[in-house]
């Protein structure tokens, strides 16, 4: 083990335990370090941005805070991935999670298995929201201005013979969609694939979860997405963790 690294990490942990900061002498005493050693390491950590010094007290610096934020994000990702895997196994279908953020459709997590593979992204999901259930579910949650802005940037295009053909038809469909009901599409994005999505309430952010199935299993689509909706309903509080991933 590299002793200087171990000592520096002990100092970081000690500073983190003092919300209102701590002086070098206290930190040296609590970590069992000689004061000259503690001073040297503290100056180095301040120089590198992991600590900051204010009126003789040491606090966590921006670099350490970035590490903490990254760790929290990874933990949230792991939590969401675990939930999706749990629902995937219970339903027997791949599960998708996406949000509409910054004017774009973001697919944040997909959980599938070799036996139940996810739909192949043969056309960019961000640009083809009009064709797949997740995109339609997200667009239905936007206000008119945001929805039209999206369609101006990503016009409706026919991907299969079943895809909606024009903006007007799509907008009428989006207006008819029940806010809390499932959105279904059958082979509009990809031939041989059917999909259903449900909206997720995450404050002002539009979010959705979805499943897909082979077209020959289309009779399973509604029961499966209703099961997903019930599973999410039991764990609504946990979904709040996902918004910042």
Residue with tokens 């399973």: 220
* Dihedral pair phi/psi, residue 50, rounded to 5°: -80, -20
**Average confidence (pLDDT) over 104-116:** 92
Residue 19 binned pLDDT confidence (cut-offs 50, 70, 90): confident
Residue 242 binned pLDDT confidence (cut-offs 50, 70, 90): very low
Tokens, residue 227: 């099961």
* Average pLDDT of every residue of the chain: 87
Supply the pLDDT for residue 221: 96
- Tell which wins on pLDDT, 80 or 100: 100
Q: Which of 60-74, 93-107, 142-156, 176-190 has the lowest mean pLDDT?
A: 60-74
Tokens, residue 104: 């774009």
Supply the pLDDT for residue 176: 86
Q: Where are the domains of the chain?
A: 3-60, 72-242
Q: Which of 45-54, 93-102, 207-216 has the lowest mean pLDDT?
A: 45-54
| 72-242 CATH | 3.30.450.40
Q: What's the rounded Cα separation, in Å, for the pair 46 and 100?
A: 39
Strand order in the sheet with 193-202: 104-111, 95-101, 205-214, 193-202, 183-186
| 3-60 CATH | 1.10.10.10
Supply the pLDDT for residue 1: 57
Query: How distant, in Å, are the alpha carbons of 124, 152, 239 from that of 147?
Result: 18, 9, 25
Supply the pLDDT for residue 199: 92
């Amino acid at each position: 083990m590299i002793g200087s690294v171990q000592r520096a990490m002990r100092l970081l942990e000690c500073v983190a335990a003092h919300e209102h900061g701590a002086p070098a002498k206290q930190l040296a005493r609590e970590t069992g370090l000689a004061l000259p050693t503690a001073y040297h390491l503290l100056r180095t950590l301040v120089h590198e941005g992991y600590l900051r010094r204010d009126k003789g007290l040491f606090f966590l610096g921006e670099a350490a805070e970035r590490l903490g934020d990254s760790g929290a994000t990874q933990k949230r990702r792991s939590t969401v991935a675990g939930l999706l895997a749990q629902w995937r196994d219970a339903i027997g279908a791949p599960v998708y999670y996406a949000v509409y953020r910054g004017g774009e459709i973001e697919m944040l997590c997909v959980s599938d298995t070799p036996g139940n593979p996810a739909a192949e992204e043969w056309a960019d999901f961000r640009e083809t929201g009009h064709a797949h259930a997740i995109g339609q579910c997200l667009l239905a949650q936007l206000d008119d201005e945001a929805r039209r802005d999206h369609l101006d940037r990503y016009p409706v295009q026919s991907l299969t013979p079943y895809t909606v053909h024009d903006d007007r038809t799509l907008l009428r469909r989006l207006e008819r969609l029940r806010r809390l009901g499932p959105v279904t599409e059958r082979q509009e994005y990809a031939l041989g694939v059917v999909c259903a999505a449900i909206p997720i309430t995450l404050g002002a952010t539009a979010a959705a979860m979805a499943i897909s199935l082979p077209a020959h299993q289309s009779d399973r689509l509604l029961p499966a997405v209703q099961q997903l909706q019930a599973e999410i309903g039991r764990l609504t509080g946990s979904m709040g963790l996902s918004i910042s991933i």
